[in-house]
Chains A and B, each alone.
Chain A
Amino acid sequence: MDSFPVVKNILLLDSEGKRVAVKYYSDDWPTNTAKLAFEKSLFAKTMKSNARTEAEITMFDSNIVLYKFVQDLHFYVTGGEDENELILAAVLQGFFDSISLLLRSNVDKREALENLDLIFLCLDEIVERGMILETDANVIAGKVAVNSMDPSAPLSEQTIGQALATAREHLTRTLFQ
C-alpha cells in the first residue's frame, strides 16, 4: 500500500471511447499507444454497465477503476489495486460534480469540447502528479471558474460566449457563497 493515496489517471471519454480529455499520472502506460490501448479495453469492458445513477467500480489489469457516465460522457478514475476504493470514489465524484457545475445544464460531449479549457483546468486542480489536491467539487469549480473570465474586458466587447461565461461565473460564485 502506498503511504498516501495515489491516482494513476483520470479519463474523460465519449460514448465511442474516444478521448475528450485525459490525464495520466503514472508510468504504467509509458507511450501513447499503451494509453490508447488501456482506454480502449477499459471502455469495452465498462460501456455496457449502467453507471448513470451511482458510480460503478471494477478491477482492470490489477487496477481499480471507478467510473460514472452522463449523457455521452464517460468519467473514469484509476488507482492501484491496494488503494482505498472510497478515496478514489471521492476523486471521481469531485471530478464529475465539478464538471457538471462548470458545464451547467448541458453536461455532454459537445459542451465539454466547447469548454475544453475548463476541463483541462479542472483536471489540473483535482490531482497534481498523482497526489490528490482537492475533492470538493464546489472548491474545484470555484477555482476554475475564477479564471474563465477576463475581468478587465468591458461587457460590450465580450462575445456572446464570454457573456455567458461571465454570467455562469457570476452564478457559480453566488451559489458557492
Chain B
Amino acid sequence: MSPSVCLQEMIRVIRGARTQGEERGVIQRECAAIRAQFRQADNGGRSHNLAKLLYVHMLGYPAHFGQMECVRLIASSKYSEKRIGYLGAMMLLDEKQDASLLITNSIKNDLSHSSQHVQSLALCTLACMGSAEMCRDLAPEIERLLKASNSYIKKKAALCAVHIVRKIPELGEMFTPSAHSLLSEKNHGVLHGAVILITELCERNPDNLKQFRKSVPELVQIMKNLVTSGYSPEHNVAGISDPFLQVRILRLLRILGRNNDAASDAMNDLLAQVATNTDSSKTAGSAVLYETVLTIMDIRSESGLRVLAVNILGRFLLNNDRNIRYISMTSLQKIVQTDHTAVQRHRGTIVDCLKDQDASVKRYAPSQRWHIDTILHVLVTAGGDVRDETVPNLIQLITAASELHCYTVHKLYRALISDIVQQSLVQVACWCIGEYGDLLLKGECEEITPMQVTEDDVLDALETVLQSHMSTPTSRGFALTAIMKLSTRITNNVDRIRSVVSIYGSCIDVELQQRAVEYNALFKKYDHMRAAVLERMPVIDRNSSGQTNGDPSVEPMKEFNQPKPVQGVLIQEPANQVCDLLDLLGDSNPPLLVTNDHTSTAPNSTNSTSSNVQDNLLDLLGGLEPTPAPSVTVFEKGGLSLKLQCDQQTETSTTVTFTASNSTQSDITGFNLQAAVPKSVQLQMKAPSGDLIPAQGCGTVTQTVLLSYTNKANLKMRVRLSYSSQGTACQDMVQIDSFPSPAWS
C-alpha cells in the first residue's frame, strides 16, 4: 500500500486541530465516511479506509465497526489488503471477540500460501492474538512449518509454537521432536526460536526436562561457538556475538541444570569460560555476564565457580552505570541468605550505594535496620573473622539509628544469652545493654516479639560474660562498664551492682581492677555525680576509618511522586534545536533531553502543538547536548570585548556573569567594572577574577554580579569599564537594557 494521500491528509488534518473538540469533530466525520465506505461493495480504497480507522483507534477512539472489514480484507487476494487486514485483526480483534474465529480459516489457508510473506503475516497474527480454539485447530499446520526448508518461516513458526504451548500446554508434546531437531540449525534466528520453545516446553512439563537434558552438550557447544568465534557482523552487538541468543541459552541451561548434578557438571567449564572471557564494558556484555551469574547460582555448581560469580557481582557494584549497580544489588541481596561470607567482602561498596540518588538502588541498601541486621548476622556466624574496626563502627551506627535502639538492644540481648563465643558480638551487645538497658527492661518493642526481661536476667547475662573463661579482657571490660552504666538505669538491683564492682576491685587483670576501683569511687565519694557521668552517650562522630560507613541519617530521596498532567505539557527547546535533524547515531549514549522537569502546564493547547512540532522533528537518536546559556556581547571596542551571561534566573533574582576578553597584541591592565542599577533593583558585585586581561585571547577576566528585583521589567544596568590598554588609560560606559534568558527558563 503506497502511502495513501487520503491517509496522510487525514493525519495532517487531525494534527492540525487546535482543540480537543475540533479533533473529535474531525474524527467523527471521518469515521462516518469510513463506515459508509465499508458498506459499499468492493472498492479500491478499502485498505486505505481501514488504515485510517486504525490510526483513529490508536488515538483512543472506538473502532469496533471495523472488525468485519478486517475479516474481509484478510480473505482478499491482494497482499496490500491482506497486510492491513491482519494488522487490523491484531489491533481490533482479540480472543473475546467472536469475529476472531472467522479468520481461522483464512489463517489456515494463508499458512500454506506460496508466498512466504503471506505465510509470515498469518503466523504473526496467530502468535499475537490466537485464542485457544484457533491454536488447537492450527497446531498441526505450525508443526508442519517447523520442518519447512525456509528458515525465515521456521523461526516465526517456532515462536508461534511457543504461543500455542502457552495457551494449551498439552499440545507441547506435538512440538517436542521438532524442537529437538531445530537445535542443529545454523541460522541464529531459528536457534533463538528453538531455544525459547525448548525453554517453554521444559518449564511446563518436567518430563520434557529429562528429555532435553540430553541436549545439554549440544547447547554447550553452541555457546562455545558463540563465545569463541570470530567477529560475526550480523549479530554483533558491541563486540559480543548475538548476546540475545547467549542470554537465552544460559537461561535454558539454568533450567536444565537445576537440581541435577550430571547436567550441572557438563556446563561448569562453559560457565567459567563465559564468565571470564566476556567483555563487560558495554551493556551487552554485562547482560550476558549477569545471566551467567544467575545460572551459576541456581545450578549445582562448584564453590570456585560461585565465588567467581559473586566477584562478578562485586565488580558490577563499582560500575559507573547505575543500571548495573542496581541489578547487582538485587542479586546480592538474594545471595546473602546463602553465601554471606562472600558477600561480606563487598559490604563497603554496598554501603556506598546508600549515597546513591536513585530510590530503586537505595531500596536494596536502604534501611539502617537492614544494615544492622546484616552486620549482626555476620557477627553471629563469623564474628571471629571480622575486622577490629567493626565493633566501634557498628556501635557508632547504632547510636545514630536512634529509633532502632530498642530493637537493636533486644536483638543483641537475645544473641548474648544464646551464645557468648563471638567476642565482637559480645562486646557490641554489652555496650548496647549498658547504654539502652532501660529500653530492654521496658519489654515492649514494636519490631520484635516482646520478651520479658528482668533486671536480674540482664545482670546475670553481663556477669556471665565477666566470669566466662571464653571472654577476652576487652570483652570483660565492656561488660563491667555496662554493668556500671546500668546502675543508673535500673531501680532495684543497685546493690548487686555495687557488690560486683567492689569484688573486681581486687581483680588480677589490671585494666579491670582499675575500672572497678574507679566505679567504686563513683559509688562512694561521687555518688551525686554518678547519674551525670553515666548518662546516655551522644551520637559518636564519625572518625575516618578505613571503611566508610554511609551516612545513616541520610533520608531516602523524596521521589517526585506527582504524576505529570497528561495534557499540554509545555517543553521549551532552545531555539537553535528546532528542525535540527542531527544524525548522531554514532553517539552511543542514548541522549536525555535536558529540559527542566519543573515546567508548568500550558493551559492552551496551541502552545503544546507548536512545541510538539519542534519535538517531532527532532531526530530520535539525535544527541542533545545541553546548550550553554547564551552569552551576549554587550561591549566591543578596540579589541576589548565584554560578554554577559545570565544563570540561575528566578522570578526575582538573576546571577549575571561578565566575561572580558582581549584580542589586542598587548595585555590590558587595571581592568575595573562598575555597575549601576535603578532604585528598584539591588546589586551585589562579587570580586572579579583579576584585573589583567592577557593579550590575544589567552585568558579572560570574569566577574559575577547578583541582582535581585521585584519586577523584572525594570531590570536595567549601566556598566562603566576602566582599564589601561597600550599605555593609555580608558574609560567606557555601556547600557544594558535587556538580559538574555538562560537556555532553560
Are A and B interaction partners? no
